[in-house]
Amino acid sequence: MLESWRWFGPQDPVTLSHARQAGAHGVVTALHHIYDGRVWTPDDIAERMALVKKAGMVWSVCESIPVNSAIKLRNANWRRYVDAWKESLANLGKGGVPVVCYNFMPVVDWTRTNLLFPTAAGGLALRFDMVDFAAYDLFVLKRRAAEESYASDIVETARRRFEAMGEAEILTLETNIIAGLPGGEDSHTRETIRGQIASYDDLSFDDMRANLVEFLREVVPVAAENGVRLAIHPDDPPFSLFGLPRVVSQADDIRTILGAVNDPANGITLCAGSYGSREGNDVVGLASDFAEHIHFAHLRNVTKEPDGSFIESEHLGGDVNMVSLISVLRREERRRLAAGRSDAVIPMRPDHGHLLIDDQEKVVNPGYSCIGRLKGLAELRGVIAALDQFHAEGSLTK
């Protein structure tokens, strides 16, 4: 597997030198400063590529070209944004970027309610608390018909929790949910998010899925023509937020995506933490079922709770059997190599490491500090080495 590292560009406090010292060879980055639907020009891409090469690394994955809401809504402006997206995609391929990860989440990107949740070991983790989210949706945002989105016991628990919150707690919660997290393109205020949510009022789950299919029919041929593998990222978390339709959350969604355009360029990002956050998703089973379509892997872990809450766990802890998952991915890589495929090596990256040691005193992007990801990458590397020895020798004790 190609050990990679997410980097948010020259302003990222975790540098490419740090990534290289952590043992990464691939860089997962994007032109995050160009997020408003403008075309990423060849010069823009070449400038970023030069920085990566200068660090002695390769730009393994672009994560992500923003998919404008006009495309998801398929409104009057969708053609302009689709055409710009396709041009950026073509320019990335011509510029030497082999994989483009993207998502189709409406209004909010990956969402957490607590960015500094204490772990038993003393680290700080990302957490999604369903009751806190409901409290914000119901009693701060006061979204119309919000109560229909939650079980009655969640509503009552959320009411009590909201009543116990001070203004500072409410502001922190709101900032965590809607102010934008690393890699997301949208940052909202309370008023703007109300308007964005309302724009989806007449869009059903089936409508959203149909709009995704139309988007794929537009962009997959461009990817194939320019040597790019598309890898759609699952919804995070993989269930409805704010009553909005989320259509990349489980196996049936993957089958729809792959069936929409039957082309090797049309594939998925296997994000273990995202798929693992939904009750009923068997992440190892998903990886096995759709192995030949996996173009990119996010190897992180979560521990779920009965009400839909979850915490980002240690990379080798949590509900996802990471050893079994990596075994599936390595088996797929060997199959591709035997078939002579050019994409035999799957880029992967550790994701959402805990905030550890003196990183707790630094200003870092939530989930993207250095030490936590370094630790995670080292653990994953060890699993890969052990599995490879077992495969080669038939035993770990020889």
Can you read off the two tokens belonging to residue 284?
């190892």
Can you read off the two tokens belonging to residue 121?
């070991």
* Residue 68, Ramachandran bin (φ over 0: left; ψ between -120 and 50: alpha; else beta): beta
CA nearest to 228, candidates 317, 396, 100, 388? 100
Amino acid at 322: M
102 is catalytic: no
Determine which one of 295, 298, 315, 354 is catalytic.
298
Look up tokens 């075309």; give the residue: 39
233 is catalytic: yes
Q: What string of DSSP letters covers 225-248?
A: HTT-EEEEPPPSSSS-STT----S
33 is catalytic: no
Determine which one of 275, 352, 354, 370 is catalytic.
352
188 is catalytic: no
44 is catalytic: no
Amino acid at 368: Y
Determine which one of 81, 102, 200, 368 is catalytic.
368
Can you read off the two tokens belonging to residue 53?
């090469």
User: Which DSSP category does 360 fall into?
Assistant: G
CA nearest to 275, candidates 298, 292, 295? 298
User: Burial, 240: exposed, middle or buried (Cβ in 10 Å; 0-12, 13-18, 19+)?
Assistant: middle
Determine which one of 233, 295, 315, 354 is catalytic.
233
298 is catalytic: yes
Determine which one of 32, 136, 236, 271 is catalytic.
271
Determine which one of 32, 351, 354, 370 is catalytic.
351
Q: How long is the chain? A: 398
| Chain centroid, CA 45 distance in Å | 21
CA nearest to 182, candidates 39, 395, 6? 6
For residue 59, the SS3 value is: strand
- Catalytic residue annotation: 233, 271, 298, 351-352, 368
